[in-house]
Structures are given as structure tokens and as C-alpha cells.
């Protein structure tokens, strides 16, 4: 009858034979086909000798069940150990070769999952992996690492990461550059009536334009103001640029304000409080485009190289143009802005209350602006919609321009308190900041 000690010895010798055989196979593969006696053959002979000794010493021995950890064997280590290589027993490497060890593995042997594979197996670190082949069936779990495997620090810079693979954002490999442009971003929801939702096509178009513009030298911390008197006015964003704001419940917009204030333009101004060469009282879309390559629009884009452009025309076009001609001009403005690598942000206009004709026409122009934004997949600030809940729909006593909040005898267009947001310019400044915040945060 076998004793526990005899069973243990038998198992250790069986494992020893397996390890010797594995080492022999590894050396044989590395050595290639040679007529000389290789260390692999010598190890194979050693394995046979051990097998004969084991059979003679313990003819009736059988493996004992249970979890076993085998000890180190200096005889193997002296011959083939590479102490800088550890192999994870969980990793299956398909070399393309099927190796028959000739040994039958006893199914009754339970291998401890915590076992570290003997480094006696020689792994050829010179193996070239064909990075051109991708196995779509392989799932890489970036969140799991085997603590038993020592990272040799070797990385294959030739490996191309498929952009379709979702990588756990909690794990970053400093050796891998992730192209944020390849990461999927879905549609974005509406933010109140003033910022309609973006569909997937708009998100993709904005990201593509942004990337192209950056490559052309445009600055992400700069935006252009393109429009008529409602854009030229000191009540449109100038207070924000000077820091004269009361954010109220919109304190979350402060990082975006500081971000765009940080880039200084000529004269020490920033995008908020710079006077644009393409924002002038009484202008229409014709004025913005006049002069071809030397138009005010082209000159403004060249002067500040903005990543973004806030565009509002239409209030004066109502009196001087047809809806069709206005739409064609707005399309041309989008063409020019996009050709410069700048993302155009269109805006609808306020109501006109200076007569039934202009009032009805303004609504048609609002619809035309929405149509161009949708057709071109560019962002839209629906200023008209954001004003509808305000007294006089946010229009001042002149029945054309937006109203503005007054505090302490001075205009305070940067006050986003409940009282401030009852006025047209305050709402325009808020919706503009919300749009800039969305653009800045877009992955």
C-alpha cells in the first residue's frame, strides 16, 4: 500500500519529467534541425533516465489528489533557466506548431491556479509578431492583470489598436496613443429651448471640423463673433470678457469662461470683448461676404484663427432680401467658415415687432436658419425659441433689438440671476456660453 510520502514523491517526479520534456521541446524548436546532439536531446535523455529510475523505485505509485506546489529543481535551472522570463500559464500562444510530447496527462492531477510556470521553458524573445493580422475574436480585458507575471517592459510599437475596441478608461498604457477622434460619441441632448439636441451626424461633423482646424493652426481657445448690431453691441459677451458676471445657478460655466478668457488677442482683449471686423450695425449677409477673399468674414477668420464662429444674421436681411437669397448667403457663409477649419454656430434671430410685415418675415427667416443648420449638420443656438417665455419675447422698447438687465444704474448683461434672465441680451449671453461649454467639452 502506498504511503502519502510515496505518493507525493511520485507526483513530484512526474512533474519533474513533464518539465524536463517541455524544456527539451523548447530547446529543440530553438535549435532547429541539426545533426549535432543538442542540450534538448541531453535533457530528453535525462528525462528518460528519471522515468526509468521512478518506475524501478515505485512501480505501484499513483498520484495523490489535492493541490500541490512543486519545489525548485536546480538541475533544470542550471541547464535552461531564463530568470528574466516568466510565463503566465493562462496565456495560450499559438505558434502554428503542434508538439506531441508523447506523455499522457493524468486527469486526476489538480494543478494549483496560483502555480507559476517553471521558467525552465525557454521562450524566444526574438519572435516577431505579425502586427498586420488582427483576430477579431480575441477580447482583451485591460482591467485584469496577472500579478504572477513580471512585465519585462518590452512593448511592440508596431501593434495597431483597432478603434472598435473598447478600452477600460481606468487603465492607461503610457506607450499607447489613443486617438480621441476615433472614440464613438453619440447624439447630445437639448439644453433648454435654446440649445437643440445634436444628432450623430452633427457631432461627427463638428469633431471632424475641429480636428481639421487644429491641424491648420486654429486655436481652440478662440471664437469669432459674426453678425450685425445685435452681435456688435457691448451687451453681447463684453461683460463676460471683463469678468463682470453673476452666474447664479450657472456656476458650472465658469471654467469655460476662464478657458476662453485665457487666450489673449491683439490689444489684450479676449474672444468675449474683442471688437470683430465682421460684426457691424445694419449689416446683412451680403455685407459679410462682400469683397470675396478680402471680405470682412475672411479677414476676421484670418486675423484670429478661431476654432469656432458664432454667426447671427437675418434681422436686417428681413428688410432687404428674400428668404431664398438669405438662405443661399448663409450657406456661403458656412462654406467660408468651414473652409477655414472653423466650426460655424448659427443662431436664430429675435422677433421683430416694428410692423406686421417684418414680424411675419422674421419667422420665415428663423425657419430658414434652422433649415440651413440642419442641412449642414452644424450647431444651432435657437435664440428665438429661448426668448419666447420672456416679457415682449426679450425684445426692447425699440421693437427690434434685445432688452438688457440694468442693475445699479448700469447694464448688466452678464447677470444670470432670475431677474437678469428676463431680458434678451442676458439670455443670448447665457445660451452662447452654454454652446461654448458644449464645444469645449466635446470629446
Characterize the bridge pairing of strands 380-381 and 67-68. Answer: unpaired
Query: What would the pLDDT profile of 104-115 be if each residue is shown by its tens digit?
Result: 334 333 333 333
Asked whether the predicted pLDDT for residue 126 surpasses 50, the reply is: no
Asked whether the predicted pLDDT for residue 391 surpasses 90, the reply is: yes
pLDDT higher for 62 or 206?
Answer: 206
Nearest to 396 by CA among 434, 426, 433, 356: 426
Query: What are the cell numbers at 234?
Result: 457691448
- The chain-wide mean pLDDT, for the chain, equals 73
Query: What would the pLDDT profile of 234-266 be if each residue is shown by its tens digit?
Result: 999 999 999 999 999 999 999 999 999 999 999
Asked whether the predicted pLDDT for residue 360 surpasses 60, the reply is: yes
pLDDT higher for 154 or 328?
Answer: 328
Query: What are the cell numbers at 82?
Result: 531564463
What's phi and psi for 188, nearest 5 deg? -110, 140
Characterize the bridge pairing of strands 380-381 and 406-407. Answer: unpaired
Asked whether the predicted pLDDT for residue 2 surpasses 90, the reply is: no
Query: What would the pLDDT profile of 263-302 be if each residue is shown by its tens digit?
Result: 999 999 999 999 999 999 999 999 999 999 999 999 999 9
pLDDT at position 51: 39
pLDDT at position 11: 58
pLDDT at position 186: 82
pLDDT at position 18: 56
Q: For residues 199-204, give the mean pLDDT.
A: 97
pLDDT at position 329: 98
Q: In terms of pTM, does the model score above 0.95?
A: no
Residue 307's pLDDT band, with cuts at 50, 70 and 90, is very high
Percent of the chain having pLDDT more than 90?
A: 58
Residue 98's pLDDT band, with cuts at 50, 70 and 90, is very low
User: What are the residue ranges of CATH 3.40.50.1110 in the chain?
Assistant: 200-441
Nearest to 259 by CA among 433, 385, 103: 433
pLDDT at position 56: 38
Provide the residue count of the chain: 443
In this structure, CATH architecture of domain 200-441: 3-Layer(aba) Sandwich (3.40)
pLDDT at position 179: 38
pLDDT higher for 77 or 183?
Answer: 183
pLDDT at position 361: 98
Lowest mean pLDDT among 11-25, 293-307, 329-343, 380-394: 11-25
Percent of the chain having pLDDT more than 70?
A: 58
Query: What would the pLDDT profile of 28-72 be if each residue is shown by its tens digit?
Result: 444 444 444 444 444 444 444 433 334 333 334 433 333 333 334
Amino acid at each position: 500500500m502506498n504511503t502519502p510520502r510515496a505518493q507525493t514523491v511520485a507526483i513530484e517526479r512526474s512533474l519533474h519529467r513533464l518539465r524536463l520534456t517541455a524544456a527539451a521541446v523548447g530547446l529543440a524548436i530553438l535549435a532547429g534541425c541539426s545533426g549535432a546532439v543538442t542540450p534538448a536531446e541531453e535533457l530528453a535523455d535525462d528525462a528518460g533516465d528519471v522515468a526509468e529510475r521512478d518506475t524501478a523505485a515505485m512501480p505501484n505509485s499513483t498520484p495523490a489528489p489535492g493541490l500541490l506546489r512543486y519545489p525548485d529543481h536546480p538541475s533544470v535551472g542550471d541547464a535552461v533557466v531564463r530568470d528574466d522570463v516568466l510565463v503566465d500559464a493562462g496565456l495560450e500562444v499559438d505558434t502554428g506548431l503542434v508538439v506531441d510530447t508523447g506523455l499522457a496527462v493524468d486527469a486526476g492531477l489538480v494543478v494549483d491556479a496560483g502555480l507559476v510556470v517553471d521558467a525552465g521553458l525557454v521562450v524566444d524573445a526574438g519572435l516577431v509578431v505579425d502586427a498586420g493580422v488582427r483576430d477579431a475574436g480575441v477580447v482583451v480585458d485591460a482591467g485584469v492583470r496577472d500579478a504572477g507575471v513580471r512585465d519585462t517592459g518590452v512593448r511592440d510599437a508596431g501593434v495597431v489598436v483597432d478603434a472598435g475596441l473598447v478600452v477600460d478608461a481606468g487603465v492607461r498604457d503610457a506607450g499607447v496613443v489613443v486617438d480621441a477622434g476615433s472614440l464613438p460619441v453619440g447624439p447630445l441632448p437639448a439644453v433648454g429651448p435654446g440649445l437643440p439636441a445634436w444628432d450623430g451626424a452633427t457631432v461627427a461633423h463638428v469633431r471632424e471640423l475641429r480636428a481639421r482646424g487644429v491641424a491648420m493652426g486654429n486655436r481652440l481657445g478662440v471664437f469669432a463673433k459674426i453678425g450685425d448690431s445685435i452681435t456688435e453691441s457691448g451687451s453681447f459677451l463684453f461683460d463676460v470678457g471683463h469678468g463682470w458676471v453673476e452666474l447664479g445657478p450657472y456656476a458650472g460655466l465658469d471654467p469655460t469662461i476662464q478657458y476662453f478668457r485665457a487666450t489673449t488677442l491683439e490689444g489684450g482683449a479676449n474672444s468675449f470683448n474683442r471688437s470683430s471686423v465682421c460684426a457691424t450695425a445694419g449689416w446683412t449677409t451680403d455685407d459679410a461676404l462682400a469683397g470675396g477673399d478680402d471680405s470682412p468674414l475672411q479677414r476676421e477668420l484670418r486675423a484670429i484663427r478661431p476654432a469656432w464662429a458664432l454667426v447671427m444674421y437675418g434681422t436686417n436681411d428681413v428688410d432687404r432680401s428674400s428668404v431664398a437669397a438669405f438662405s443661399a448667403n448663409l450657406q456661403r457663409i458656412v462654406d467660408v467658415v468651414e473652409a477655414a477649419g472653423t466650426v460655424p454656430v448659427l443662431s436664430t434671430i429675435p422677433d421683430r415687432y416694428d410692423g406686421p410685415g417684418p414680424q411675419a418675415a422674421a419667422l420665415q427667416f428663423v425657419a430658414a436658419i434652422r433649415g440651413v443648420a440642419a442641412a449642414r449638420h452644424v450647431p444651432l443656438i435657437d435664440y428665438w425659441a429661448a426668448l419666447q417665455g420672456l416679457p415682449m419675447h426679450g425684445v426692447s422698447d425699440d421693437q427690434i433689438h434685445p432688452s438688457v438687465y440694468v442693475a445699479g444704474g448700469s447694464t448688466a448683461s452678464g447677470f444670470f440671476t432670475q431677474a437678469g434672465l428676463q431680458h434678451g441680451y442676458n439670455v443670448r449671453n447665457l445660451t452662447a456660453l452654454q454652446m461654448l461649454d458644449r464645444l469645449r467639452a466635446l470629446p
